[in-house]
Every structure is written in C-alpha cells, then in structure tokens.
Amino acid sequence: MDITSAVHTLTESANTLFILIGAIMVLAMHAGFAFLEVGTVRHKNQVNALVKIMTDFGVSAVLYFFVGYYIAYGSHFMTGAAELTANNGYELVKFFFLMTFAAAIPAIVSGGIAERARFYPMLVASGLIVGLVYPFFEGLIWNGNYGFQNWLESQFGAPFHDFAGSDLMHPVGALITGGIAGALFVYLFEWAQARIERLDDVLGVWPLHGVCGVWGAIACGIFGQPGLGGLGGVSLGAQLAGSVAGVAVAFVGGLVVYGGIKQAVGLRLSDEEEFNGADLSIHRIGANAID
C-alpha cells in the first residue's frame, strides 16, 4: 500500500469514527430524555414515560431505515453487505447518526403529552412523523431537495444553517444565545403554566424546543456574522425564512398526523384512566412492585 492509499484509508476511518462518536453522544441524549420525563411526571405515569421513550426509538429506527432516510436523501440500504461496508461502513454510520436525531422528534413530543396520551395511537403518530414529516424537511435543509436551499441562497446570499449555527458562532456569541434561550424558557414556561389554561405541557416542550429552537436558528444569522466574531456565510434573512419553513412543516404535518389519528381512534386517555395513571391503565404495572 503506497502512502497516498494509506492516507486515504486513514482519512476514511477517521471520518467514520468521528460520525460514530457523534451518533453515540446523540443516542445518549435519549437516556436524558427518559430520565427527564420520569423525574417530571407523577409516580403513576413513570412506567409509561420510560416505555414510550424506548418504543418510540425502536419504531423510529425501523421507519427511518426503510422510509425516512430514502425520502430525505434518496438512497436506501437494500444492497449487498459488501457495498454497505465500503469506506469503513461510513454510510451506515451516517444513517445511525441521522437516525438518532430523527428519533428525538417523538421523544420531544412524548414530553409534551406526558400523562395524557394513549399509547398505541401515539406510537403510530411517531412512526408517521419520523417516516414522512421530519424527513421531508430534513431533505430540504440537509440534502438540498426541491431547490429550497438554492432559492434561499439566491434570495439572501446564504443557505439556511441548522444546528443553531453551532455546524458558525464565536464562543461568546454562543454563550449569549444560550443565555437568552435559558431566560426565554424559564419566563415562558412559568407564564404558560399560570396564564394559558388549555395548555397542558408538563415538561415545557413548547417554550424549550419551540420558541428557544426558533431563537437558536435566528441567532445564527446574528452571531454568525463576521462583525460579531462569527465565520460568516450566513444570512439573517435565510435564517428567518428557514425557521418559518420549519415551523410551517411541523405545524401542518402535526395537524394532519395527530388530527387524523384523533378523528380515527382518539389520542387522549379517558378521565378515569388519567386519574388511575397511565401505568395501570395501559401497562397494568406500577413503577414499584410494592407501592
């Protein structure tokens, strides 16, 4: 093996390892979701919270493997093992990395409907979201599908940057972004709990992943500018447009999926089931053998 081939092989191995480490870290985040939800819901709903996180991940992995990944990137894994293991298995590791993000969507939703939702209808909804809705927007942003990113670049001079412009900011800009997001979350969570009677958001999913998520994307267009220490190549207009597009896809997709399932079979537990708790009502078991 000559030096060029050796360097090429080493580079491929390093890329695969880097993505794998990132995937493992995001996978570990799901354990964080589980512990957060279990520690927030009441005792009579703790088994349900854990089971939802685990089953949502399993369903997400299967649906994303067979459907979602193809919608987002136009490629699939229905080929021979020799092809799948090419380049040190980079494509499979890349799938694993992206799947852990996709599976985070139903995990987030799970916190928003904790203690209230039926199990199997929500499992079906999770499969539809991960298999269809999320990959559609993922493909728009990460794979340039339908020319959306090209349009943003022609209109605003830069494409939309995901990951809140992390994949761009100076550390001080990131600190300011996080500080504002933290303040927004605390204020909006307390305000919503006290003022909005019809909002039942036990874990504060709406202010955290909704409002703060949008703020992170917009902040990328501010603190990613060279004048504020950023790397540049970012536009506030593109960040605003991309954020609006993301909210629109999430709203319409959620309305169709959850609205359709609600009309078909219903989403919410009965008053009696809520009173008894999802653990006994659905799973016929409590969080402890002896209560």
CA distance 141 to 144: 6
- pLDDT at residue number 225: 93
- pLDDT above 90: residue 247: yes
- pLDDT at residue number 23: 92
Distance between start and end Cα atoms, the chain: 66
- pLDDT at residue number 135: 96
- pLDDT at residue number 161: 92
- pLDDT at residue number 176: 95
- pLDDT above 90: residue 114: no
Q: What is the mean pLDDT of the chain?
A: 90
- pLDDT above 90: residue 275: yes
- Which amino acid is residue 38, in one-letter code? V
User: For the ranges 66-75, 192-201, 222-231, 273-282, which has the lowest average pLDDT?
Assistant: 192-201
Q: Assign 1 a pLDDT band (cuts: 50, 70, 90).
A: low
pLDDT digits (tens, 9 = 90+) for 149-170: 999 999 999 999 986 557 789 9
Q: Assign 132 a pLDDT band (cuts: 50, 70, 90).
A: very high
- pLDDT above 90: residue 82: no
- Which amino acid is residue 179, in one-letter code? G
CA distance 191 to 212: 15
pTM: 0.89
Q: Assign 10 a pLDDT band (cuts: 50, 70, 90).
A: confident
pLDDT digits (tens, 9 = 90+) for 35-80: 988 988 899 999 999 999 999 999 999 999 999 999 999 988 888 8
Largest CA distance in the chain: 72
Q: Are 116 and 269 in contact (CB under 8 A)?
A: yes
- pLDDT above 90: residue 270: yes
Q: Assign 192 a pLDDT band (cuts: 50, 70, 90).
A: confident
Question: How many residues can be counted in the chain?
Answer: 291
Cα–Cα distances in angstroms (integers) from residue 84 to residues 11, 24, 80, 90, 235, in the given order: 18, 20, 7, 8, 37
- pLDDT at residue number 164: 56
Task: Determine the average pLDDT of the residues in 242-259.
Answer: 96
- pLDDT at residue number 90: 87
CA distance 94 to 47: 32
